[in-house]
Amino acid sequence: MNMQPNDLFAALAHETRLRCLMLLVHHQELCVCELTQAIGAAQPHISHHLAQLRELGVIVDRREGLWVRYRINPSVPAWVRGVLRETSEGLGQQAPFADDERTLAAMPNRPGAARCA
């Protein structure tokens, strides 16, 4: 995979994409419904930004029944993983990132339960 630094940093420059990526760094996989709940944005808005991240190759998705689950692409170069990890460590305790984690943790009916919120 040949990812250009300009492309990654442009992706990180948008708040919604950055917040999604920071959640995905901390969690193995998340459903779009979990991301919408955590971030507090409409599903089409989140899906639009996830599609951009997927096209760039930073994330991959897989269908699980009704849900589409997202995760960091295991094939991203080591430097990309390093940037994401360091960014997550540096921002994890700040708003809105810490708030996103708390909101996700409190989410009822997370995937795997009978219904997704």
| CATH code assigned at 37 | 1.10.10.10
Q: What are phi and psi of 82, to 5 degrees?
A: -65, -45
pLDDT digits (tens, 9 = 90+) for 57-111: 999 999 988 889 999 999 999 999 999 999 999 999 999 999 999 999 999 988 7
Q: Could you tell me if residue 108 is inside a domain?
A: no
Using CA atoms, how far apart are residues 38 and 100, in angstroms rounded to an integer? 5
- Is residue 55 predicted with pLDDT exceeding 60? yes
Tally of domains in the chain: 1
Largest CA distance in the chain: 41
Determine if the peptide bond prior to 96 is cis (ω within 30°). yes
Q: Could you tell me if residue 58 is inside a domain?
A: yes
Q: Could you tell me if residue 111 is inside a domain?
A: no
- Which residue range(s) make up the domain with 51? 5-102
| pTM score, whole prediction | 0.92
